[in-house]
Amino acid sequence: MVKKSLPLSILLALLICTSSVTFAAVDPQSTIADNKVKFQQMSDNLIETNKKISTLNTQIEKLKNDISKNNADIDKNNKQIDVEKAHMEQLMKEVDSSQAVANRRIRAMYINGYNENIVGSLLSSKSFSDAVCKFEAVKEVISYDKKIFNGLAEKKKELDKSISSLDAKKEQLQKLKDNNDTNLKQLDDDKAKLQDLAKQFEQQRNNAAQIIKENEEKLIAHAVSVIDSSTSSISDMKNALMTLNSLLPQISTDSVKQKAKSYISSGNAKLADMIARSSAPAGTDNVTFKATYTMEATAYSGGTVTALGLKPVRDPSGLSTVAVDPSVIPLGTKVYISGYGYAICSDTGGAIKGNIVDLYMNSESECLSFGRRTVVVNIVAYPGEW
**Confidence category of residue 278, pLDDT binned at 50, 70, 90:** low
Kindly report, residue by residue over 80-118, the tens digit of the pLDDT.
888 888 888 887 887 777 767 666 666 655 555 544 445
Residue 302 lies in a domain: yes
| Of the residues 228, 262, 296, the one at which a domain ends | 228
Contacts 24+ apart (CB under 8 A), 22-30: 23/204, 23/207, 23/208, 23/210, 23/211, 26/211, 28/214, 28/215, 28/218, 29/215, 29/308, 29/330, 29/331, 29/332, 29/383, 30/307, 30/308, 30/326, 30/331
239 neighbors 386 (Cβ within 8 angstroms):
yes
Give the end-to-end CA distance of the chain in Å, rounded to a whole number: 41
Q: Give me the DSSP letters along 223-236.
A: HHHHHH-SS--HHH
264 neighbors 248 (Cβ within 8 angstroms):
yes
230 neighbors 277 (Cβ within 8 angstroms):
no
Q: Which of 251, 249, 242 is nearest to 223 (CA)?
A: 242
| Of the residues 186, 209, 228, the one at which a domain ends | 228
Confidence at residue 134, expressed as pLDDT on a 0 to 100 scale: 52
Say if residue 320 is in the same domain as residue 299. yes
Q: What mean pLDDT value characterizes the chain?
A: 80
Kindly report, residue by residue over 18-68, the tens digit of the pLDDT.
444 333 344 444 456 677 777 888 888 888 888 888 899 999 999 999 999
Say if residue 83 is in the same domain as residue 107. yes
Is 127 or 268 the better-scoring residue by pLDDT? 268
Judged against a pLDDT cut of 60, whether residue 305 lies above it is answered with: yes
Distances (CA, A) of 35 to 24, 39, 145, 202, 211: 11, 6, 95, 14, 7
Say if residue 252 is in the same domain as residue 376. yes
Say if residue 220 is in the same domain as residue 363. no
Q: At what angle do helices 254-277 and 128-228 cross, to 10 degrees?
A: 30
Contacts of 251 (CB under 8 A, 6+ apart): 216, 219, 220, 257, 260, 310
| Of the residues 228, 245, 264, the one at which a domain ends | 228
> How far is residue 50 CA from its own chain's centroid?
1
Residue 168 lies in a domain: yes
230 neighbors 217 (Cβ within 8 angstroms):
no
Task: Name the 3-class secondary structure at 336.
Answer: strand
Judged against a pLDDT cut of 60, whether residue 190 lies above it is answered with: yes
Query: How confident is the model over 214-220, as a mean pLDDT?
Result: 88
Q: What CATH number is associated with residue 240?
A: 2.40.40.10
375 neighbors 338 (Cβ within 8 angstroms):
yes
* Domain span at 365: 230-280+288-381
Residue 77 lies in a domain: yes
Task: Name the 3-class secondary structure at 295.
Answer: strand
Confidence at residue 150, expressed as pLDDT on a 0 to 100 scale: 77
Least confident span in 103-112, 156-165, 250-259, 333-342:
103-112
Say if residue 101 is in the same domain as residue 241. no
Say if residue 153 is in the same domain as residue 13. yes
User: d(Cα 89, Cα 93) in Å, to the nearest integer?
Assistant: 6
Confidence at residue 151, expressed as pLDDT on a 0 to 100 scale: 75
Say if residue 158 is in the same domain as residue 245. no
User: d(Cα 214, Cα 28) in Å, to the nearest integer?
Assistant: 8
Residue 26 lies in a domain: no
Indicate the number of domains in the chain.
Answer: 2
Say if residue 310 is in the same domain as residue 346. yes
DSSP state of 6: P
Burial class (CB in 10 A: 0-12, 13-18, 19+), 322: buried
Judged against a pLDDT cut of 90, whether residue 296 lies above it is answered with: yes
Residue 120 lies in a domain: yes
Query: How confident is the model over 204-226, as a mean pLDDT?
Result: 88
Say if residue 222 is in the same domain as residue 235. no
Residue 368 lies in a domain: yes
Residue 25 lies in a domain: no
What percent of the chain has pLDDT above 90? 36
Q: Give me the DSSP letters along 140-189.
A: HHHHHHHHHHHHHHHHHHHHHHHHHHHHHHHHHHHHHHHHHHHHHHHHHH
What percent of the chain has pLDDT above 70? 77
Say if residue 203 is in the same domain as residue 242. no
User: d(Cα 81, Cα 301) in Å, to the nearest integer?
Assistant: 77
Say if residue 199 is in the same domain as residue 237. no
User: d(Cα 358, Cα 347) in Å, to the nearest integer?
Assistant: 9
Say if residue 57 is in the same domain as residue 137. yes
Is 212 or 128 the better-scoring residue by pLDDT? 212
306 neighbors 326 (Cβ within 8 angstroms):
no
Residue 180 lies in a domain: yes
> How far is residue 149 CA from its own chain's centroid?
68
